Structure 1
Amino acid sequence: MDTTDIFLYAGYLLIIIGAIVAILMPLIQSLGDPKSLLKTVAGVVIIGALFGIAYSSASGEVAAKYIADPFNITPEGAKMVGGVLITVYALFILAIVGIVITELNKLIK
């Protein structure tokens, strides 16, 4: 094991610690204000519903060359990736629309 491996594992550890802290600290802060926690749960539920709709509309078709080695893509995996992509596209469009509406609102005021 050389220093590159050690630094990679240290980086992985720091990313994991950062992700845990990023998730736990807002939860700890929101215990004092349960309404903010309710807003967070509502956002997660809405994104989950959006993913459910995207997953159900995604195609599970896989080209023959991707079914075999080295890819081994299954129809379920292709449908999951398609659902994630459709969700990301929808959230991107929603963000752009939100930015345009906010700028127009600022322009009017």
Structure 2
Amino acid sequence: MEIVDIALYIGYALTGLATVLAIVLPLLKALDNPKGLMKSLVGVLVVAGIFGVGFALAGSEVTAAYAKFDVTPFISQMVGASLITAYVFMVGAFVLAIFTEFAKAFK
């Protein structure tokens, strides 16, 4: 085994450790403040709701060009839902940026 392989395995292990800690430690800290945890839960539910609406609106068509890459109708619908969700958040960010600038101008 070369030094590069060892370094890659160490990198994988550290990335996995960082991922686990990035998920677990905020959850442990949130237990100290249940109201903050509730606000986070509301945010997650809003994102899930927007994704659900995007999933309902997304089509499940698969063209011949994508069928050869084993794209199923479900995968096509998930990609469409992800795009619709991203579009909603981009438009929302743009509208909020414009609103913020107008609010600052009239203060």
- Tell me if both proteins adopt one fold, taking TM over 0.5 as the criterion: yes
Distance in 2 between the 1:92 and 1:8 partners? 36
CA distance in 1, matches of 2:13, 2:98: 39
Alignment partners' CA distance in 2, 1:4 and 1:85: 38
Moved more, 14-23 or 85-94: 14-23
- Please tell me the residue identity of whatever aligns with 1:54: G
Check 1:92–1:4 CA distance in 2 against 1; reply closer, same or farther (3 A cut): farther
Q: RMSD across aligned C-alpha pairs, in angstroms?
A: 1.8
Question: Normalised by the size of structure 2, how large is the TM-score?
Answer: 0.85
Counterparts of 1:16 and 1:42, CA distance in 2: 28
Cα deviation per residue 1:37-94 (whole Å; 9 max; x = unaligned)?
Answer: 00000000110011010011001111112212xx111111111111111111111211
Larger deviation, residues 90-99 vs 33-42: 90-99
* Number of corresponding residues: 107
SS at match of 1:72: coil
Normalized against structure 1, the TM-score is what? 0.83
Structure 2 equivalent of residue 56 of structure 1: 56
Could you say if the C-alpha distance between residues 99 and 2 of structure 1 is closer, same or farther in structure 2, counting changes exceeding 3 Å? Answer: farther
Residue 29 of structure 2 is aligned to residue 29 of structure 1: yes
Name segments (4+ residues, structure 1) moved above 6 Å: none
**Structure 1 portions without partners, runs of 5+:** none
Distance 1:100 1:23, change over 3 A: farther
What residue number does 2:11 align with? 11
Equivalent residue for 2:103?
Answer: 105
Structure 2 CA distance for aligned equivalents of residues 4 and 97 of structure 1: 48
Larger deviation: 97-106 or 29-38? 97-106
